[in-house]
Amino acid sequence: MTLDRWVAFVILCTALAYGYAAFFTMDGLLPPFIQRNPIWPSTFPKVLAVLTILTSLVILLGLEKGEDTDKEPDIDYRRLGDYNLTQALSLLVLMVAYALFLRPAGFLFSTFSFLALGAIVLGERKLHILLPVVAVASFVVWYLVDEVLGIFLRPWPFFI
Amino acid sequence: MLEGLMIGLSAAFSIQNLLMVVAGCLIGTFIGMLPGLGPMSIIAIMIPVAITIGDPSAAIILLAGVYYGAIFGGSTSSILLNAPGVAGTVATSFDGYPMARKGQAGKALTVAAIASFCGGTIGAVLLMVFAPMLSTVALLFHSAEYFALMVVGLSAIAAFAGTGNVAKAIVMTLLGLIMATVGEGALFNMPRFTMGLMDLQSGFSFITLAMAMFALPEALFLVLNPARSAQGGEGGKIENLRITREEGRKIAPVIGRQSVQGFFIGVLPGAGATIASFLGYAVERNIASKEEQEQFGKGAIKGLAAPETANNAACTGSFVPLLTLGIPGSGTTAILLGALIALNVTPGPRLMIDNPQIFWAVIVSMYIGNLVLLILNLPLIPCIAKILAIPRNYLIPFILFFTLMGSYIGQNNATELLILVGMGICATILRFADYPLAPLLIGFILGGMLEDNFSRSMQLYDGVGFIVDRPMTLGLLVIAILLVIVPSYRARRAKARAKGIADGD
């Protein structure tokens, strides 16, 4: 099975779960006065679930015949190992780390580390340029967002 | 009308007000470039400044300048980084980003600036002429027609996808609609599909989803395949700003049609600029010649001009219900309404009689705002386009950082960032599997409004009777069905015919 049909399968399962919730579990808590409405909170989801199940089946069973395009894909997922997969994955890990550290470690420290480590992961080695640039950029963004626009961002770690 | 125009000119052409326009446009452009801060939030931020000015005409001129600046700024981030920060500029990235990758970033920005200028200016002329009449037309549209109009919009999007991909595009649209049902709806006040998670109570955020669907996969692709960034990078001729005469001739009719169409869609209260830009893109794609249709999505100059013109014209159009009925048609005009009321001006049918100088000052400031924006931004374009010349090792971490910031600023919630990364990974897989991502985002944007209008008509008509009872609704729905069926039918027939020829030989 090709990747797009696997994806269709996953979507089908999601739609089935969603439809189950819409058809069987959601209406249990409905207060009686809403039950007299022509439309319930579950009406629209029911329609969506049915339509999604049908369309994903169309893809899964290959009913729609596409044109056979020979175009070279940007990235061939079958040869994922040939690309810079480690770099991409490390950047994703960095993003997750940033999300977890943003509050406790403060904006300036997290942003500085994220930008610096990100560039290092990508192969930047001129640290004497990188570190000052990143430090200035983190400060400028913080200054603009917090001081100028007035959207609060905690600058320092929680213990300061 | 001429007399009114003179009042407006005299109000707008003071040194103070001209400075306001320039300042507003500059502020709007620069803040608007940050993904995550759309016109709505920028105007909200600027309101305290505007109110301290005290003079209502000056204040609204400043805010209008910010508004136009922000829309243009938003287009730059969709063109250069594929990171649309506002729903109205999503369609801009369909063709703008491929152009930037082909090394035509400067040209793309120029086209965007010119298209925005024309859209805005023609829109302002139409506003001046039609404002009073249009307010009655806007009232003819009921929730049933809005529902149908959105269905037309969605099926037009699915129809873009081209042969062989219609099912995929429809599935993605439906997924977007499904995601829009998560959280608390306006009509029912009960959480749906949140799985008990507090963080999903208010649903997914648009910015997070937009970043996850467009900017994140693109950045990951750039990392995975370094050759990709080199395609437009070094050879990127930023000097190549000029549009050739031939290109100008190509986009002129597009700009003309889309200014009018965009304006009239913008008049309808609802998702003005967003629907206008998508429909504009769809219409231009469908009426383009066969060879040009192939180019759409790969950096067609027409595909960039259409949504840019339409969304600016629609923004102007959205002032019609605000100024004539006092009904804000979009989030941004709602905030403007708030600002006006704070300045002791009540928009509505009496505005033109009681405060003609304000009504006309707004219109004149639209002309001036658009002109100033064009004059300010054309020389700035080379500098803006240089963003792409930043070394890759710096650019990619910064793109990722801005996507993170974009979704954090809006919600001030770190969980949002985890959702962003998770959805970004899903979006990358979907891109590998050749699923179009734009329909998902569009479904999500329109989902809430679609359901609200559907529910409201169901309640009004006590069932699905409104589909048959209202001819306009029925007509629009028929168009929607045709939009999906006709292209695939045509493709099937073409294929059958091609096969027939082959058999005959």
Strands (E), B413-473: none
Nearest residue of chain A to residue B465 (CA atoms): A38
pLDDT band at A13 (very low <50, low <70, confident <90, very high): very high
Q: Is the residue at A97 inside a domain?
A: yes
Neighbours of B196 (CB within 10 A): 7
pTM assigned to the model:
0.74
Higher-confidence residue of B10 and B177: namely B177
Range of the domain at B34: 2-504
Q: Is the residue at A63 inside a domain?
A: yes
Same domain, A138 and A103: yes
Q: Which of B274, B364, B306 lies closest to B114 in space, CA to CA?
A: B306
Contact B412 A124 (CB under 8 A): no
pLDDT digits (tens, 9 = 90+) for B36-95: 666 777 777 777 777 777 777 788 888 888 888 888 888 887 888 777 767 777 888 888
Q: Is the residue at A159 inside a domain?
A: no
Same domain, A91 and A58: no
Same domain, A15 and A65: yes
Q: Which amino acid is at A134?
A: V
- Residue A110 pLDDT > 70: yes
How many CB contacts within 8 angstroms connect chain A with chain B?
A: 176
Domain end position, chosen among A71, A98, A120: A71
CB of A123 within 8 Å of a chain B CB? The answer is yes
Domain end position, chosen among A37, A71, A105: A71
Query: Do residues A33 and B132 lie in contact, with contact meaning Cβ atoms separated by under 8 Å?
Result: no
Based on its alpha-carbon atoms, the radius of gyration of chain B, rounded to whole angstroms, reads 22
pLDDT digits (tens, 9 = 90+) for B104-130: 778 888 888 888 888 888 888 888 887
Same domain, A92 and A66: no
Residue B191's H or E segment, with its range, is: strand B191-192
Same domain, A9 and A65: yes
Stretch B227-238: mean pLDDT, rounded? 50
The pLDDT value given to residue B503: 43
Q: Which of B254, B207, B226 lies closest to B77 in space, CA to CA?
A: B207
The pLDDT value given to residue A71: 52
Same domain, A13 and A57: yes
By Cβ distance, the residue of A26, A73, A119 closest to B394 is: A119
- Residue B46 has phi, psi (to 5 degrees) of -80, -15
Burial tier of B126 (Cβ tally within 10 Å: 0-12, 13-18, 19+): buried
Domain end position, chosen among A47, A71, A95: A71
The pLDDT value given to residue B394: 80
CB of A16 within 8 Å of a chain B CB? The answer is no
Same domain, A112 and A67: no
Based on its alpha-carbon atoms, the radius of gyration of chain A, rounded to whole angstroms, reads 25
Share of chain A above pLDDT 70, in %: 87
Per the structure, the count of domains in chain B is 1
Q: Is the residue at A131 inside a domain?
A: yes
pLDDT band at A74 (very low <50, low <70, confident <90, very high): low
Looking at the complex, report in whole angstroms how far the Cα of residue A19 sits from the nearest Cα belonging to chain B: 10
Contact B414 A48 (CB under 8 A): no
A14 contacts in chain B (CB < 8 Å): 178
Instruction: List Cβ neighbours of B372 (8 Å cut-off, separation of 6 or more).
Output: B21, B22, B25, B65
The pLDDT value given to residue A82: 72
Per the structure, the count of domains in chain A is 2
Range of the domain at A67: 3-71
pLDDT digits (tens, 9 = 90+) for B332-362: 777 777 777 777 777 776 777 777 777 787 7
Same domain, A59 and A116: no
The sign of the CA dihedral B462, B464, B469, B473 is positive
Contact B181 A44 (CB under 8 A): yes
Nearest residue of chain A to residue B448 (CA atoms): A44
Query: Do residues B70 and B38 lie in contact, with contact meaning Cβ atoms separated by under 8 Å?
Result: yes
Looking at the complex, report in whole angstroms how far the Cα of residue B147 sits from the nearest Cα belonging to chain A: 12
The sign of the CA dihedral B83, B89, B91, B95 is negative
- Residue A123 has phi, psi (to 5 degrees) of 110, 10
Same domain, A37 and A86: no
Mean pLDDT for chain B?
A: 77
β-strand partners of B183: B192
Q: Which amino acid is at B185?
A: G
The pLDDT value given to residue B233: 45
- Residue B5 has phi, psi (to 5 degrees) of -60, -40
The pLDDT value given to residue A50: 92
Contact A102 B178 (CB under 8 A): no
The sign of the CA dihedral B85, B86, B92, B94 is positive
Window from A140-149, B323-332, B351-360, B420-429 with minimum mean pLDDT: B323-332
Same domain, A86 and A139: yes
Residue B496 C-alpha from the chain's centroid: 38
Higher-confidence residue of B214 and B148: namely B148
- Residue B505 pLDDT > 50: no
Give me the half-sphere count of Cα atoms (radius 13 Å) on the Cβ side of residue B298: 7
Query: How far apart (Å, rounded) are the C-alpha atoms in residues B99 and B305?
Result: 12
Q: Looking at residue B436, what DSSP letter applies?
A: -
A96 contacts in chain B (CB < 8 Å): 418, 421
Query: How far apart (Å, rounded) are the C-alpha atoms in residues B403 and B502?
Result: 51
The pLDDT value given to residue A53: 92
